């Protein structure tokens, strides 16, 4: 039997996260949108309160601490750390997406460490704020095309290359860098390495100025003979070991794509709430679902359609998170929810701006900011087009070589 209601434990998490979004993020949202690159010191307290996201982005079930955080219904399934992260992410991003991405210790690199790192690596790096460096000037959505290299030199690895659009790159304490140990092997040679900030040869080149999520810093790095210890390689150095090779690093996305979908759901929820409030003050019936179409206005019809799109994205995302918590392969569902939610977030926020007219476009409300913030949610962690390609491959049983 399908139960579409969140259990009480998840509702409690949602309420706590909503409180953070409402009480901490919303009051400073516009401040740090205008003061791009200024560190939002008001959120420092969240590091100790919320802990490190590493645990909240791993689907492995052998950690006792993770087991304590699960909620097991009578049928034996569980709502664990992935569901917890998604539920919390929705409510915090209802407050502010950029500030959510700025919470100390909650980086995409932490997810990679938890997904493919050894127990020793999780212990060593788990407490650090880790960013993820994948994108390069000539390699965006095609992660297999990266040119950054890592060569073995004695017991060390030496990294050379350039990375751009690294979320939290300036504020983090370490960066998980994707590099190829054997370019002739193609994407099979791609591995991930933990590079701690301050390592010689690693240079922060610039901070990007962006359309949205301005409170979250986005950096570019260069690596010039950057030497790191051999044990900083995540997973196996064996190219033939697909589970710990490229397939292993890609496993990170199965855990994090539902998180990005949750961000879009959160900002979409915020936009719909404000639009409903503003339009109801103008006489629009914002809860007209039970009325026949002939008795609804065009605006009322549009609000109903947007609500339906939002709910569809939410349910897809909850399913993908639930599958991860229960040890089920969720590559298809993770891509589906990311594609649906990313597109929904863009459409909902922009339509709410349009429907609310002057108030939607001005800085008197946060609607215009949410429209700007939502754009990146359809791009990072794999663009809309890449998600659709992944979905098509999964449904048709085609490999990346067969369907490009």
Q: Which residues are catalytic?
A: 381
Under 8 Å between Cβ of 340 and 391 = no
**CA distance to 167, 211, 349, 387, per residue, from 34 (Å):** 18, 11, 19, 32
Contacts of 294 (CB under 8 A, 6+ apart): none
Beta bridge mates, 74 = none
Alpha-carbon gap, residue 64 to 317, rounded angstroms: 25
Under 8 Å between Cβ of 226 and 179 = no
Under 8 Å between Cβ of 178 and 133 = yes
**Whose structure tokens read 């650090």?**
128
Alpha-carbon gap, residue 218 to 83, rounded angstroms: 27
């Amino acid at each position: 039997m399908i139960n579409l209601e969140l259990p009480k434990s998840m509702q409690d998490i949602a309420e706590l996260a909503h409180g953070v979004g409402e009480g901490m993020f919303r009051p400073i949202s516009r401040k740090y949108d205008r003061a791009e690159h200024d560190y939002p010191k008001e959120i420092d307290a969240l590091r100790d309160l919320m802990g490190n996201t590493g645990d909240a982005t791993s689907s492995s079930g052998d950690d006792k601490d993770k087991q304590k955080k699960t909620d097991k219904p009578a049928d034996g399934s569980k709502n664990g750390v992935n569901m917890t992260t998604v539920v919390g992410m929705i409510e915090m991003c209802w407050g502010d997406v950029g500030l959510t991405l700025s919470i100390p210790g909650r980086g995409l690199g932490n997810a990679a460490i938890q997904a493919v790192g050894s127990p020793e690596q999780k212990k060593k790096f788990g407490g650090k704020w880790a960013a993820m460096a994948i994108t390069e000037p000539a390699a965006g959505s095609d992660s297999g095309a990266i040119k950054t290299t890592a060569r073995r030199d004695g017991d060390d690895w030496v990294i050379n290359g350039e990375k751009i659009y690294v979320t939290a790159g300036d504020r983090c304490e370490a960066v998980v860098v994707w590099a190829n140990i054997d370019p002739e092997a193609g994407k099979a040679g791609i591995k991930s390495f933990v590079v701690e900030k301050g390592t010689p040869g690693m240079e922060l080149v610039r901070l990007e100025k962006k359309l949205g999520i301005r409170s979250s810093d986005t950096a570019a790095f260069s690596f010039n003979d950057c030497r790191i210890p051999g044990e900083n390689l995540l997973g196996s150095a064996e190219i033939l070991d697909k589970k710990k090779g490229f397939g292993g690093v890609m496993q990170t996305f199965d855990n994090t794509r539902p998180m990005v979908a949750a961000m879009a759901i959160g900002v979409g929820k915020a936009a719909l709430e404000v639009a409903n409030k503003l339009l109801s003050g103008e006489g629009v019936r914002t809860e007209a679902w039970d009325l026949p179409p002939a008795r609804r206005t065009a605006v009322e019809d549009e609000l109903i359609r947007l609500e339906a799109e939002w709910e569809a994205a939410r349910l897809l995302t909850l399913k993908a998170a639930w599958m991860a918590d229960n040890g089920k392969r969720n590559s298809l569902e993770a891509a589906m929810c990311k594609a649906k939610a990313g597109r929904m977030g863009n459409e909902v926020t922009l339509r709410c701006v349009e429907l609310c007219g002057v108030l939607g476009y001005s800085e008197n409300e946060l609607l215009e900011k949410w429209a700007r913030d939502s754009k990146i949610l359809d791009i990072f962690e794999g663009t809309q087009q890449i998600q659709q390609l992944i979905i098509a491959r999964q449904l048709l049983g085609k490999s990346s070589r067969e369907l490009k």
